[in-house]
C-alpha cells in the first residue's frame, strides 16, 4: 500500500512537471526517444547534437531562452511558451530540429567511423 502511494505521488509530480514544460520540447524529445530506439549510439548523438544546436540558434523557437528567463532571470517561474499547447506544435515544427545543420559555424556532428560500425548490443535500449 505504501509503495503504491509513493508511485501515485511520483506519477502526479511527473505529470505536473510535464504540464509546465515547453510543448515544443516535449514533442521533440518524444520523437527523439522513439527514433533512437533502433539506432546506434552514434546516430543518436548526432540527432541530439542537431537538436541542441537548433535550440541554441533560436531560429525556430525561443522557448529555451524563455525558460531561462522564467527560472534564472526574472524567477517568476511562469514561462510563456510559443506555441502554448501540444496540439499547436506541428510535425513540420518538430522536423526542423532534426534537419542537418547548414548555417556557417554550425556544422553537423561528425563522429569517428568506428561509431558507424558498432555491434548490435551497442544499439540504444530505450
Domain count, the chain: 1
To which residue does cell 531561462 refer?
68
Q: What is the predicted pLDDT for the residue at 117?
A: 62
The domain of 11 spans 2-122
To which residue does cell 546516430 refer?
43
The answer to whether residues 67 and 22 touch, using CB atoms and an 8 Å cutoff, is yes
Rounded to two decimals, the pTM is 0.82
Q: What is the predicted pLDDT for the residue at 2?
A: 72
> What are the mean pLDDT values of the chain's consecutive 10-residue runs (126 residues total)?
80 94 98 91 91 94 96 96 97 96 86 68 55
Q: What is the predicted pLDDT for the residue at 121?
A: 62
Q: What is the predicted pLDDT for the residue at 126?
A: 45
Q: What is the predicted pLDDT for the residue at 8?
A: 86
Rounded CA-CA distance 80/45 in Å is: 29
Q: What is the predicted pLDDT for the residue at 112?
A: 82
Q: What is the predicted pLDDT for the residue at 19?
A: 94
Amino acid at each position: 500500500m505504501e509503495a503504491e502511494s509513493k508511485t501515485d505521488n511520483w506519477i502526479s509530480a511527473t505529470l505536473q512537471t510535464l504540464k509546465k514544460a515547453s510543448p515544443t520540447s516535449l514533442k521533440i524529445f518524444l520523437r527523439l526517444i522513439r527514433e533512437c530506439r533502433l539506432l546506434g549510439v552514434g546516430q543518436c548523438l548526432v540527432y541530439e547534437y542537431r537538436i541542441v544546436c537548433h535550440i541554441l540558434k533560436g531560429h525556430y523557437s525561443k522557448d529555451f531562452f524563455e525558460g531561462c528567463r522564467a527560472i534564472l532571470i526574472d524567477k517568476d517561474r511562469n514561462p510563456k511558451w510559443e506555441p502554448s499547447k501540444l496540439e499547436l506544435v506541428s510535425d513540420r515544427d518538430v522536423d526542423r530540429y532534426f534537419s542537418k545543420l547548414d548555417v556557417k559555424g554550425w556544422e553537423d556532428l561528425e563522429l569517428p567511423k568506428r561509431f558507424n560500425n558498432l555491434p548490435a548490443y551497442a544499439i540504444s535500449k530505450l
